[in-house]
């Protein structure tokens, strides 16, 4: 009898040692894999965590409320509802519990964990117990986020490069189209001069000068557009009177006699004089080009507060609708935009884009107001 008792005690000691060794190996395996295990008794609400979960969650076991509510409090506030819903639905539907969520550490760090679990039920389908694992996947998740951000970055770069190439293609097409006409005029006038001595030289030279001026205007607009693209336009503010400035601009335009101005003689603005001139000259050139040849073009200016109460000046240019018709309201300020009916007129499609871009650089805004019998462009500029 004594022999059997000693053998039994020895067997118990060996089993305890084996269980201890197994438990130690399990803890070590969980530590290496960063995986913890848990059991939730749904009858009394008791939650049991392995040591590794306390380690992963950076929680002192003596300070933890070992229940489901205590577990929810360890989760990132923005993920709690999703975790609770996933677990509740797994119980209701008798399906595995599987979710990835964040933990918010006390020092503000974020950890990511992946949880999996299964539940046991009685014969009536009542849940009795849930058990599962929690794995720290922070390094994997952070790498995934970096890869995604890198992919987004390179997609953006690729898209920008594609847009750049498309802009270049549009620019070359516009430049080729617009330079052909004045170059053909120069070629024809030069050929006439060299081949016909009786030809009116002044007439041919006038055509050459007109064609050269057109090319010069095209190059100027391209240079202005490039300056905006490169961010090389520095604002130099000064105070100047609007009426003399607009009159000076008008004198350098074809058909300036068609212009009617309504600007108070004493009205002034503090802004960039050169940029202001570019805005007004582009608006007036556009109106004179696309309105009926014998019609009037009106330019009006007046003080006006912005919606935020900032003092500024509104400049409005209006004209009758010509053969080109009304432009597309959604595309009128688009770079290189010209309606199909406007193609018979020379132009770069940059004028109104420059108006909008320069207005924005000055802190203002440009708009288009289509009326049933008029085309109206309006620019508001702040007093700098």
Q: Please report, for the domain that includes residue 329, its CATH number.
A: 3.30.565.10
pLDDT of residue 22: 46
Q: Are residues 129 and 240 in the same domain?
A: no
Indicate the number of domains in the chain: 3
| Rounded Cα–Cα distance for residues 286 and 128 (Å) | 80
Q: Choose one of 118, 136, 154: the last residue of a domain.
A: 136
Q: Choose one of 136, 153, 188: the last residue of a domain.
A: 136
pLDDT of residue 336: 75
Q: Are residues 276 and 301 in the same domain?
A: yes
| Rounded Cα–Cα distance for residues 27 and 207 (Å) | 93
Q: Are residues 375 and 246 in the same domain?
A: yes
Q: Each residue of 150-159: b (16+ CB within 10 Å) or e?
A: eeeeeeeeee
Predicted structure pTM score? 0.49
Q: With respect to residue 143, please indicate whether it lies within any of the assigned structural domains.
A: no
Q: With respect to residue 200, please indicate whether it lies within any of the assigned structural domains.
A: no
Q: Are residues 325 and 241 in the same domain?
A: yes
CA distances from 257 to 163, 290, 295, 296, 301 (A): 42, 16, 10, 9, 19
Q: Are residues 23 and 63 in the same domain?
A: no
Under 8 Å between Cβ of 74 and 57: yes
Backbone angles phi, psi at 372, to 5 degrees: -65, -25
Structure tokens at 176: 């080729």
Q: Are residues 113 and 259 in the same domain?
A: no
3-state secondary structure of 363: coil
Domain range for 5:
1-31
Q: With respect to residue 307, please indicate whether it lies within any of the assigned structural domains.
A: yes
3-state secondary structure of 368: strand
Q: With respect to residue 210, please indicate whether it lies within any of the assigned structural domains.
A: no
Q: Are residues 5 and 55 in the same domain?
A: no
Q: Are residues 2 and 86 in the same domain?
A: no
Give CB contacts under 8 A, 24+ apart, made by 59-68: 68/40
Torsion of CA 261, 265, 271, 276, to 10 degrees: 20
- Kindly give, in sequence order, each residue whose CB lies less than 8 Å from that of residue 304, ignoring residues fewer than 6 positions away: 312, 313, 314, 380
CA distances from 64 to 54, 58, 124, 226, 351 (A): 9, 11, 33, 64, 69
CATH number of the CATH domain containing 46: 3.30.450.20
SS3 per residue for 176-225: HHHHHHHHHHHHHHHHHHHHCCCCCHHHHHHHHHHHHHHHHHHHHHHHHH
Q: With respect to residue 49, please indicate whether it lies within any of the assigned structural domains.
A: yes
Q: With respect to residue 208, please indicate whether it lies within any of the assigned structural domains.
A: no
Q: With respect to residue 117, please indicate whether it lies within any of the assigned structural domains.
A: yes
pLDDT of residue 20: 47
pLDDT of residue 382: 93
- Tens-of-pLDDT digits for all 384 residues of the chain? 556 555 555 555 555 544 444 444 444 444 544 688 889 999 998 988 888 888 888 888 888 877 888 888 889 999 999 999 999 999 999 999 999 999 998 899 999 999 999 999 999 999 999 999 898 988 888 888 888 888 888 788 778 777 766 776 666 566 655 666 666 666 666 666 655 555 555 555 554 555 555 555 556 666 666 666 666 677 888 999 999 999 988 887 777 788 999 999 999 999 988 888 888 888 998 888 888 988 999 999 999 998 888 999 999 999 998 888 888 888 888 887 777 766 666 666 777 888 898 888 889 999 998 888 899 999 999 987
Q: With respect to residue 173, please indicate whether it lies within any of the assigned structural domains.
A: no
Q: Are residues 106 and 68 in the same domain?
A: yes
pLDDT of residue 32: 46
Structure tokens at 239: 């105070």
| Rounded Cα–Cα distance for residues 331 and 334 (Å) | 5
Q: Are residues 11 and 130 in the same domain?
A: no
DSSP state of 291: S
3-state secondary structure of 74: coil
What's the sign of the alpha-carbon dihedral 239, 244, 248, 253?
Answer: positive
Q: Are residues 238 and 365 in the same domain?
A: yes
Q: Are residues 88 and 22 in the same domain?
A: no
């Amino acid at each position: 009898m004594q022999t059997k008792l000693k053998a039994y005690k020895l067997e118990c000691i060996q089993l305890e040692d084996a269980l201890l060794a197994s438990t130690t190996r399990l803890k070590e395996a969980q530590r290496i894999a960063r995986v913890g295990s848990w059991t939730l008794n749904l009858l009394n609400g008791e939650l049991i965590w392995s040591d590794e979960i306390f380690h992963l969650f950076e929680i002192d076991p003596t300070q933890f409320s070992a229940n489901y509510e205590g577990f929810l409090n360890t989760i990132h506030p923005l993920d709690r509802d999703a975790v609770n819903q996933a677990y509740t639905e797994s119980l209701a539907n008798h399906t595995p519990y599987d979710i990835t969520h964040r933990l918010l550490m006390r020092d503000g760090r974020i950890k990511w964990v992946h949880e999996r679990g299964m539940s046991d039920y009685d014969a009536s389908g009542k849940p009795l117990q849930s058990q599962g694992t929690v794995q720290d996947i922070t390094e994997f998740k952070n790498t995934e986020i970096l890869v995604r951000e890198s992919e987004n970055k390179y997609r953006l770069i690729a898209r920008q490069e594609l847009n750049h190439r498309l802009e270049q293609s549009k620019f070359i097409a516009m430049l080729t189209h617009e330079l052909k006409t004045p170059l053909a005029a120069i070629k024809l006038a030069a050929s006439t001069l060299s081949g016909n001595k009786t030809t009116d030289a002044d007439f041919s030279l006038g055509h050459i000068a007109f064609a050269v001026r057109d090319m010069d205007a095209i190059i100027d607009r391209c240079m202005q557009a490039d300056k905006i693209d490169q961010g090389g336009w520095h604002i130099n503010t000064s105070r100047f009177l609007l009426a003399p400035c607009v009159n000076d601009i008008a004198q350098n335009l074809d058909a300036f006699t068609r212009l009617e101005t309504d600007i108070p003689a004493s009205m002034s603005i503090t802004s960039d004089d050169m940029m202001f001139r570019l805005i007004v000259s582009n608006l007036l050139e556009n109106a004179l080009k696309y309105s009926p040849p014998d019609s009037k073009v009106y330019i009006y200016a007046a003080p006006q507060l912005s919606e935020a109460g900032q003092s500024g000046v509104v400049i409005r240019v209006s004209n009758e609708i010509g053969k080109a018709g009304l432009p597309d309201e959604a595309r009128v300020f688009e770079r290189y935009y010209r309606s199909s009916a406007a193609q018979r007129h020379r132009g770069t499609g940059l004028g109104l884009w420059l108006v909008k871009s320069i207005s924005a650089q000055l802190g203002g805004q440009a708009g288009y107001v289509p009326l049933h019998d008029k085309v109206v462009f309006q620019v508001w500029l702040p007093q700098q």
